[in-house]
């Protein structure tokens, strides 16, 4: 085995074609975050992006995209932005993981959404978690029947709100895979507001993430592209989503809605309509990602699995990294495993978000406190 480390942008067309060939050959790799196009885009924006090209007998056997940070700390490509990572290789390829890290000049590689069961990393998996999917391989109607079986009450409630939204706000229409940059701007503004409102870090406060999203929106090849959907009531946008796709799989990424219409649950209404549009477009699956919201449990009709774990070589930086990361990872797993704890944590974050938003508004308006005290509006 020969391992050469380069930047994704340095890969030639033959190497990129080999990447695509390996990805298509293994169904577990059918995820746009594992596509060469995503790696090349990340490389344009971040100088720590690398890919190990693994050759065997003069033929490329695999690719390992990753990020190399200070002190040899390795992270998955895209880090907290992505929901899947791993080796792009045949399922039979097994490397010495520590030797791979050595070739990549990494002291540690921490992963939390790795394709489960890859032979190279399987010995280092500490937890394997389900990622629910909407599976349309038997058709949209078969998927909808599964959703109804999962929770007939939820489906009935959403369909009622869907009709109510259309009746009171205007006829509903879903724009599938729109290329309009203004629609993307609206969606990202909603998402930023959601992050702040719920106490999360606003990812779109970082210009490079906005630029990455815009770059992905412009992609529209047969095997890879961005998919922007928007649900309208009349002519008014009320809920949308931006995700990435391969030829057959759409991955959930940035869903958001206008809170003015929250009483209609427009996000879930949008998801149902998006599912139908995705099936009509020939997609086989929508990957909703692991953990999080309860709606995934009743929209799912299948499950993929991703692994959490850590590979390290003996070093001071790896030891420091372990001390800083392990307690946090354990706490996160405990919370995700217990719905009551997840809901409590979510409420706390939302409360924090409301307080922070209020403080920001007061800082932006020096007279806000005085106006509120006197009843001025």
Number of C-beta neighbours around residue 257 at 10 A: 24
What integer best gives the mean pLDDT of the chain?
Answer: 88
Confidence check: pLDDT of 332 > 90 = no
343: pLDDT confidence band, cut at 50, 70 and 90? low
Which residue ranges make up each domain of the chain?
2-131+306-313, 138-283, 315-355
Confidence check: pLDDT of 127 > 90 = yes
Confidence check: pLDDT of 297 > 60 = yes
Question: Domain 138-283 carries which CATH code?
Answer: 3.40.630
Task: Please compute the mean of the pLDDT values over residues 63-80 and round it to a whole number.
Answer: 95
Question: Domain 2-131+306-313 carries which CATH code?
Answer: 3.40.630
Distances (CA, A) of 123 to 29, 50, 310: 19, 24, 10
Confidence check: pLDDT of 327 > 80 = no
Confidence check: pLDDT of 261 > 90 = yes
69: pLDDT confidence band, cut at 50, 70 and 90? very high
Distances (CA, A) of 29 to 34, 55, 64, 91, 206: 7, 19, 13, 10, 29
Confidence check: pLDDT of 88 > 80 = yes
| Same fold flag, 2-131+306-313 and 138-283 | yes
Quick: pLDDT tens for 181-196.
999 999 999 999 999 9
Q: What is the pLDDT of residue 334?
A: 47
Phi, psi of 264, deg, nearest 5: -95, 0
Termini Cα distance of the chain: 71
Quick: pLDDT tens for 162-186.
999 999 999 999 999 999 999 999 9
Rounded CA separation 141/364 (Å): 51
pTM of the model as a whole: 0.84
């Amino acid at each position: 085995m020969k391992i050469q480390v380069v930047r994704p942008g340095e890969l030639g067309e033959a190497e990129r074609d080999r990447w695509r060939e390996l990805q298509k050959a293994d169904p577990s790799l059918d995820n746009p975050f594992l596509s060469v196009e995503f790696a090349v885009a990340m490389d344009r924006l971040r100088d720590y992006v690398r890919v190990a090209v693994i050759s065997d007998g003069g033929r490329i056997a695999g690719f390992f995209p990753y990020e190399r940070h200070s002190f040899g700390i390795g992270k998955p490509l895209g880090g907290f932005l992505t929901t899947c990572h791993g080796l792009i290789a045949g399922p039979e390829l097994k490397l010495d993981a520590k030797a791979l890290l050595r070739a990549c000049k990494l002291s540690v590689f921490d992963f939390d959404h790795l394709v489960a069961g890859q032979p190279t990393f399987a010995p280092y998996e500490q937890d394997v978690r389900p990622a629910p999917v909407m599976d349309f391989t038997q058709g949209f109607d078969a998927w909808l029947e599964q959703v109804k079986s999962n929770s007939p009450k939820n489906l009935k409630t959403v369909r009622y709100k869907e009709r109510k939204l259309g009746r009171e706000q205007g006829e509903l229409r879903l724009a599938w895979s729109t290329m309009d940059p203004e629609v993307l701007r609206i969606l990202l503004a909603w998402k930023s507001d959601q992050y702040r409102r719920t106490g999360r870090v606003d990812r779109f406060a970082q210009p490079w993430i906005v630029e990455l999203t815009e770059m992905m929106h412009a992609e529209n090849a047969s095997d890879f592209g961005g998919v922007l959907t928007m649900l309208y009531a009349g002519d008014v946008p009320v809920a949308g989503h931006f995700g990435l796709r391969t030829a057959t799989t759409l991955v959930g990424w940035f869903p958001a809605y206008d809170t003015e219409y929250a009483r209609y649950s427009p996000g879930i209404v949008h998801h149902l309509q998006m599912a139908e549009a995705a099936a009509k477009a020939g997609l086989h699956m929508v990957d909703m990602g692991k953990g999080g919201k309860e709606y995934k449990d009743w929209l799912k009709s299948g499950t993929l699995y991703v692994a959490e774990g850590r590979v390290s070589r003996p070093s001071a930086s790896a030891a420091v990294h372990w001390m800083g990361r392990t307690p946090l990872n354990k706490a996160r797993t405990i919370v995700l495993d217990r719905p009551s704890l997840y809901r409590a944590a979510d409420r706390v974050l939302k409360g924090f978000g409301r307080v922070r938003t209020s403080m920001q508004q007061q800082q932006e308006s020096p007279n806000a406190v005085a106006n509120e005290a006197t009843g001025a509006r």
